[in-house]
Amino acid sequence: MWVSHRRSLTVAVLIVGGPPLKRWATRPKVRNQRDFELWTLDLGLANSVSETSQPDTPRIVLAHGGGGELMQELIKSHILPKLGNAMLNRLTDGAVLGPVTGDLVFTSDAFVVTPLEFPGGDIGRLAVCGTVNDLAMMGARPVALSLAMVIEEGTPLDLLDRILDSVAQAAAEAGTCIATGDTKVVERRGGGGMILTTAGVGERLAEARLDTKRIRAGDCLIVNGCIAEHGLAIMAVREGFEFETELRSDAAPLNNLVEMVLSCGYDVKFLRDPTRGGLATVLADLADDTGLSVEITESALPITAVARHAAELLGLDPLGVANEGKCLMCVSAADADKMLAALRKHPLGAEAAIIGRITDARPPLVEMVTVVGGRRVVQRPYGEELPRIC
Amino acid sequence: MSDELADICERIGREVCIMEVCGTHTVSIFRNGIRSMLPPTLRLVSGPGCPVCVTAQRYIDAAMDLAGRAEVIVATYGDMVRVPGRHGSLETQRAAGADVRVVYSIRDAVELAARNPDRTVVFIGVGFETTAPATAAAIREAYTRRINNFCVLSAHKRVVPAMRALLEAEDVPLDGFLCPGHVSVIIGAQAYKPIVEEYNRACVIAGFEPMQILQGLLHLVRQIKQGEAKLDNAYGIAVKDEGNLTALRLIDEVFEVSDAVWRAMGVIPQSGLEIQQKYAQFDALRRFDLQLGADEDPPGCRCGEVIQGKIEPPQCSLFSQQCTPLHPVGPCMVSSEGTCSAWFKYGVRGTSRASKPRA
């Protein structure tokens, strides 16, 4: 009832005057037709593209994907200036990466986020971070990425430019590059914008000894910073919340942080980025994989007050909300404090915290000790979280 | 605080049974693991406080009937969308082409009507005295702005008559009530006086933060130990004695108190809010000349007993087997405030759900 209760009360109380409870004053507002449409469950379909530009804005047309002159121009004047590097500039059918000494790690991802741009990032940043982080969680250093873009006709070129800038920026942060790619244009389907697909090749670091079989009761769980921010930032934009400007996606490439931790020799046994399904899903997976229990402490979870209130207002459990720049690490107890100190010196780990530990309680479950000292089970979220009533 | 609770309960020397009436309390109790902190002799029972759960099946079927009409846009809060009716849910109807929109505020439904003059927007109005003022305000707005293609299927309910009905039925030996916070903001603390005076049961109004709930429980067991039944407002920061008079006037102006049918509890006198004659055109039942049919509850579903505190969810043979949040059979598993959903999501180690290995 949380949210909707407050929401409905917001209506009741704010309209007719009532007790001035500050938190209730944070309510969604309808500012224009678009917000309204976004509200009425067309969430997944909202077109963030067409409304934002003038009619004479240069746009993507079908011929941009046709393989002819127009496509050459798109590549030469928009893609290469932003993403270009020695491998990509050759415009060959594939990229030659050269030999590596460690094991190869290979991963692939698709991105369909709506809206395409959101506080703290956009689909381009997300695509790079998602793939780099998948490699990083395997203990791998990214060698090169591929980027395939499926763009809807009518997408403004300046939007594409901004997204390509983000791709370049995120790849630079991760110290990698787009080595190969593809562009297709599809007819307008009302879906809005574009779909990005990335793949990444990485080289596993010699120090990586990631294996859930090594996990024992007593091992500590560390997260590198505040949780739930990506998912909440997107939801806040979609729903037109007033606090949307304060919530920013945490999308960030974690490979440097992971490389630092592994190269220091800490006894890290497990790394996973809690994206869709949030921390709750990763913890539940961990309990399933190891046959051991997980105990986390609510008061130790790093989360901002804004995020906590936003989650409450949306009726979401922050543990089930997506992150794009967070990593859950399982490390032996002996190394936990040292590793925490090291993490906190890293820009992406300033708010790192030990949030719990592995126990041998039976049956294997994820439990949380709540702020008031109670205990409850933490489960994977079940599908779509519905907006609330009453 | 849990030590003090244990101490008092030990001195009471028998099982104490307290009902939390409100679904928000139920969820907060589970989310914060409060049950795990209580002494074994203090039993918490969830009550009929989830608006979706108490809505009788006949209203769900009426909503489905309306959604099936080409000229109708059904606007509803999200939780109603997945409640199974006789033939699927609003969600499955939407997938089959019906125009069903989830709104976050009833005002959106009014705007939807203003924007679609050639369609009729039917808002599914469920909820207690918390949402009723918003519905009243919306109806009045539609009336003043002459938005004649807007109407409400009103299944709004009043909390206190349901508490009274539970006590009359005497199925559950209740010692007291943890009274809802938000409803009480509207109806005021004094609304629970009859429960205290006529039925001699302790009533404590509490907020939704875990410490507020524990505080409320402490107030309750203290009363029970003293053998008293008092009305105690532990949420004075938000709840006044007389409630929110403006909101109450709004309810009075648009609705009239009527007998209403609840899921499994049958007709409870004076427990409903019917749209007044003056606003008859905004009443979906009258506008579409709808007759509410019989209630055909899903076979095997024991939500009716759950909302009355007669059984706990794991006692239902469907619970966590055929009935899960992904494939809910009854409303208590659908609604975010439903008791079954709270048990399923946040159970404690040792409850049947939590003991089962994950699939």
Count of the separate structural domains present in chain A? 2
Confidence class for position A37, pLDDT limits 50, 70, 90: very low
Go through B159-198 and write b for each residue having 16 or more CB atoms within 10 A of its CB, e for each that does not: bbbbbbbbbeeeebebbbbbbbbbbbbbbbbebbeebbee
Share of chain B above pLDDT 70, in %: 97
In angstroms, the separation between the Cα of residue B34 and the nearest Cα of chain A is: 5
Q: Hey, is the C-beta of B33 within 8 angstroms of any chain A C-beta?
A: yes
Task: Please name the residue of chain B whose CA is at the shortest distance from the CA of residue A42.
Answer: B101
Report the pLDDT averaged over residues B300-318: 93
In angstroms, the separation between the Cα of residue B33 and the nearest Cα of chain A is: 4
> Which residues of chain B lie closer than 8 angstroms to A382, CB-CB?
324-326, 345
Same domain? For B221 and B113 the reply is no
Report whether pLDDT(A79) > 50: yes
Same domain? For B61 and B106 the reply is yes
Whether residue B358 and residue A18 make contact (CB cut-off 8 A), yes or no, is no
More confident residue, A171 or A118: A171
Same domain? For B192 and B282 the reply is no
C-beta atoms surrounding A213 within 10 Å: 8
Identify which of A1, A16, A363 has the shortest CB distance to residue B250: A16
Confidence class for position B121, pLDDT limits 50, 70, 90: very high
Task: Please name the residue of chain A whose CA is at the shortest distance from the CA of residue B109.
Answer: A40
Report whether pLDDT(B67) > 60: yes
User: Does residue A160 fall inside a structural domain?
Assistant: yes
Q: Hey, is the C-beta of B140 within 8 angstroms of any chain A C-beta?
A: no
What is the pLDDT at residue A190? 64
In angstroms, the separation between the Cα of residue A222 and the nearest Cα of chain B is: 22
Whether residue B107 and residue A11 make contact (CB cut-off 8 A), yes or no, is yes
What is the pLDDT at residue B218? 96
What is the pLDDT at residue B224? 95
- Our CA angle for B214, B209, B312, nearest 5°, is 65
State which of A153, A183, A204 marks the end of a domain.
Answer: A204
Same domain? For B121 and B13 the reply is no
Report whether pLDDT(B300) > 70: yes
User: Does residue B298 fall inside a structural domain?
Assistant: no
Report whether pLDDT(B351) > 60: no
Q: Measured between alpha carbons, how far is residue B137 from residues A15, A17, A56, B75, B142 in Å?
A: 8, 12, 44, 16, 9
Rounded Cα distance between A298 and A280, Å, is 12
> Which residues of chain A lie closer than 8 angstroms to B346, CB-CB?
376-377, 379
Same domain? For A222 and A356 the reply is yes
State which of B207, B233, B259 marks the end of a domain.
Answer: B233
Whether residue A376 and residue B102 make contact (CB cut-off 8 A), yes or no, is no
Report whether pLDDT(A115) > 90: no
Domain range for B198 is 2-42+162-233
Whether residue B79 and residue A365 make contact (CB cut-off 8 A), yes or no, is no
Write the single-letter amino acid at B73. Answer: I
Same domain? For A245 and A139 the reply is no
Is B167:B45 a contact under the CB 8 Å cutoff?
A: no
Same domain? For B97 and B139 the reply is yes
Report whether pLDDT(A56) > 80: no
What is the pLDDT at residue A57? 80
User: Does residue A226 fall inside a structural domain?
Assistant: yes
* DSSP of B137-198: HHHHHHHHTT-TTEEEEEEEB-HHHHHHHHHHHT-S---EEEE-HHHHHHH-GGGGHHHHHH
User: Does residue B238 fall inside a structural domain?
Assistant: no
Instruction: Give me the long-range contacts of B352-358 (CB less than 8 A, separation at least 24).
Output: B352/B314, B352/B319, B352/B320, B353/B313, B353/B314, B353/B319, B353/B320, B354/A365, B354/A377, B355/A363, B356/B320, B357/A363, B357/A364, B358/A284, B358/A287, B358/A288
- Which CATH number covers residue A135? 3.30.1330.10
Report whether pLDDT(B111) > 90: yes
Chain position carrying tokens 């990466």: A97
Interface list for B 201-220 with A (CB within 8 A): 208, 210-211, 214
User: Does residue B66 fall inside a structural domain?
Assistant: yes
> Which residues of chain B lie closer than 8 angstroms to A291, CB-CB?
none
Same domain? For A342 and A227 the reply is yes
Same domain? For B125 and B61 the reply is yes
Pick the closest to residue A326 from A136, A147, A113, A144 (CA basis).
A136
Identify which of A1, A16, A284 has the shortest CB distance to residue B358: A284
Q: Hey, is the C-beta of B232 within 8 angstroms of any chain A C-beta?
A: no
What is the pLDDT at residue A243? 58
Identify which of B36, B127, B324 has the shortest CB distance to residue A376: B36
Same domain? For B310 and B270 the reply is no
Rounded Cα distance between A171 and B62, Å, is 55
Residue positions counted in chain B:
359
**Which pLDDT tens digit goes with each residue over A245-281?**
688 999 999 999 999 999 999 999 999 999 988 999 9
State which of A176, A204, A232 marks the end of a domain.
Answer: A204
Q: Hey, is the C-beta of B233 within 8 angstroms of any chain A C-beta?
A: no
Tokens of A100: 């590596």
* DSSP secondary structure code for residue B288 in this structure: T
How many CB contacts within 8 angstroms connect chain A with chain B?
192
- Which CATH number covers residue B25? 3.40.50.11750
Domain range for A145 is 62-204
> Which residues of chain B lie closer than 8 angstroms to A374, CB-CB?
32-37, 210
State which of A204, A234, A264 marks the end of a domain.
Answer: A204
- Secondary element (H or E) of residue B92: helix B90-95
Same domain? For B59 and B140 the reply is yes
Same domain? For A175 and A230 the reply is no
Same domain? For B253 and B109 the reply is yes
Report whether pLDDT(B112) > 90: yes
Mean pLDDT of chain B: 92
> Which residues of chain A lie closer than 8 angstroms to B51, CB-CB?
389-390
Same domain? For A216 and A200 the reply is no
Q: Hey, is the C-beta of B82 within 8 angstroms of any chain A C-beta?
A: yes
What is the pLDDT at residue A34? 36
Same domain? For B198 and B136 the reply is no
